[in-house]
Each structure stands twice: as structure tokens, then as C-alpha cells.
Amino acid sequence: MLWHLVKRTAFYLLVVFIVVISVFPFYYAILTSFKSGTALFEINYWPTSFSLQNYTQVLTTGSFPRNLANSLLIATVVVAISLLLAVTASFALSRVRFRGRSTLLLMILAVSMFPQIAVLAGLFELIRFFGIFNTPFALIFAYMIFTLPFTVWILTTFMRDLPIEIEEAAIVDGASPWVIVTKVFMPLMWPALVTTGLLAFIAAWNEFLFALTFTSSNATRTVPVAIALLSGATQYEIPWGNIMAASVIVTVPLVVLVLIFQRKIISGLTAGGVKG
């Protein structure tokens, strides 16, 4: 009986430990973001002061609002384009048997594991050739390299599990493949589309390497680059308060989305093995 109690206590201690480790850094970032002046440099574990100074500073001075708008625009367009391209592609990959199908699937999986640095030089040349360097189009284009493979992969696994009967009925009625995709499959696919769309959005929102390389001015940067390059009045002074406020601003929407769509995201992650 005592042994049982010890085991239970140990288990719950482990649970508490996991939760604290997971959440504490974000909690501490929020705590810091509400501090200003010298309070910033006092170490507190609980909220002691409340000041919105960091937030007003980040949102009114500099180009951070512009960066937020850039990120929002780029991530949204990336999601729309990759879903559009992936839905038809995964219909073909999941419902039609043709030669080379499994090779194609393997190729798509291979691209999803691609080291992005390996294409950086060639992509840089191509983006300059298109004349889209330092514009949102450069990032929208470049982000396809990681959003397309996993949207195709997840949607293919999802569509493969849909019953064949619904499609057969449509074929008997003489529906063309396009009609089958848009009228029969699309309505059934909303859960999968929401999941993949969310994952693509998060991936595009968080991307750093391409954003750092393919934009070169404050006005065209996305938020991760803006936060990484946020600097103070002097070179030696790191504006920790502002950085934490900016970090909280870009992270809160993501955390809220992830918590709302928890189940969907977990199923999408495990189906696609998307990068963490």
C-alpha cells in the first residue's frame, strides 16, 4: 500500500516536472515582457510589476507591425497555394493506380527531408532571375519546397482511407475526376485540410533561413528575422524587454491555435512526420 502511494506520488511529480519544463520558458518570456526599466534586470519568479511599455514600443516604433503584416500575408498565401496544388495531386496519388506512383511518393518524401541549405545557392540565382528578390513573392515561392511535400503526403494518406464506394457511385453517374475531387472529396476533406493548412501556416510563419537570405530591408522582413535582428539604441545594448514583447506577440496566436486544434495537429504530425 505504501509502495503504491510512493509510486503514485513519483508519477505525479514526473507529470508536474514535464508540465513545468514545457511551459516555464514561455511563462518567463511573458513575465519579462511586462517589465520595464530596471525591473527587467531583477530576477523574479512571479509577476511583480505590470507595464505595457515594451509592447507599445515594439508596435509603434520601427518596422515590427510591417513585419507582422508580411508574415501574415506570406503564410496565408503559402497555405492557399500549397493546399490548392496538393489536393489535386494527392487525389491522383491516392485514388488512381498508375506506374511510378510509389516512386513519386518516395520522391516527395525525400524532398520533405531536404536540407534547405542545399538549394540555397540555386534558389538565390532563380529568385534574382525572376526579379523577385527582396519581395514577399520570393518567400512565397521558396516556402513551397517544404509546405508542398508534407501537404501532399498528409492529404494522400488521408484520402487513401476514404471508402471507395463514394467514388464508385460518382463514376457510375459519369462524374469526371475534377468533379469527383471538388464535389465528392472536398466536403469530406475539411478536417484534413484544416490540419495541413495549420501545419503549413506554422511552418511558413516560423521559417528563418530563406527569410534571412531572400529579403534585405526592414520593410520586407518577416517576424522571425525581425526578432533575430532586433537591436537597441546602441550596439551593445540588447533590448530584452522589446524582444520578449515581440516574441510573445508572434507566439500567442500560434499557441492558441495549437491548443484549439490540438487533436487535429497531433494526428497531422504523426501522419506526416513534419519537422518539429
Looking at 1, 2, 5, 118, which residue binds another protein (CB under 8 A)?
A: 118
Residue type, 153: W
Crossing angle of helices 64-95/190-206, nearest 10°? 140
Query: CB-based contacts of 229: which residues, under 8 Å, 6+ apart?
Result: 221
Q: Which is nearer to another protein, 142 or 189 (CB)?
A: 142
Name the minimum Å distance from CB 218 to another protein: 16
Distance between CA atoms of 97 and 233, rounded to whole angstroms? 62
67, 205 contact by CB (below 8 A): no
The single-letter code of the amino acid at 185 is F
Farthest-apart Cα atoms in the chain, separation: 74
Stretches 56-64, 131-139, 187-195, 218-226: which one binds another protein (CB under 8 A)?
218-226
* Closest CB to another protein among residues 219, 255: 255
All residues at 6 or more sequence positions from 247 whose CB lies less than 8 Å from its CB, including other chains: 29, 33, 227
Of the residues 75, 205, 221, 245, which one makes contact with another protein according to CB under 8 A: 205
Asked if residue 121 binds another protein (CB under 8 A), the reply is yes
Please choose, from the candidates 114, 138, 146, the residue with its C-alpha nearest in 3D space to the C-alpha of residue 212. 138
**What distance in Å separates the CA atoms of residue 25 and residue 122, rounded to the nearest whole number?**
38
Report if residue 191 touches another protein, rule: CB under 8 A.
no
- Does 175 bind another protein (CB under 8 A)? Our answer is no
Task: Determine the length of the chain.
Answer: 276
**Who contacts 167 (Cβ-Cβ below 8 Å, separation ≥6)?**
95, 180, 184
With binding defined as CB under 8 A, does residue 183 bind another protein? no
Minimum distance from CB of 216 to another protein (Å)? Answer: 10
Task: Please report whether residue 242 would count as binding another protein according to CB under 8 A.
Answer: no
Segment near another protein (CB under 8 A); pick from 47-55, 59-67, 83-91, 189-197: 83-91
Pick 24 or 52: Cβ nearer another protein: 24
* Smallest gap from residue 139 Cβ to another protein (A): 12
In angstroms, the CA 131 to CA 138 distance is: 9
Q: Among residues 145, 162, 170, 175, which is the contact residue for another protein, using CB under 8 A?
A: 145
Name the grid cell of 245.
514583447
Stretch that binds another protein, among 51-59, 131-139, 188-196, 242-250 (CB under 8 A): 242-250
Q: Does 137 bind another protein (CB under 8 A)?
A: no
Of the candidate residues 10, 52, 113, 186, the single one contacting another protein (CB under 8 A): 113
The DSSP line for 152-164 is HHHHHHHHHTS-H
Nearest to residue 198, comparing CAs of 209, 210, 206?
206
In terms of CB distance, is 29 or 69 closer to another protein?
29
The footprint of another protein on residues 7-66 (CB under 8 A) is 11-12, 14-15, 18-19, 21-23, 25-26, 28-29, 32, 40-41, 43, 45
Interaction between residue 132 and another protein (CB under 8 A): no
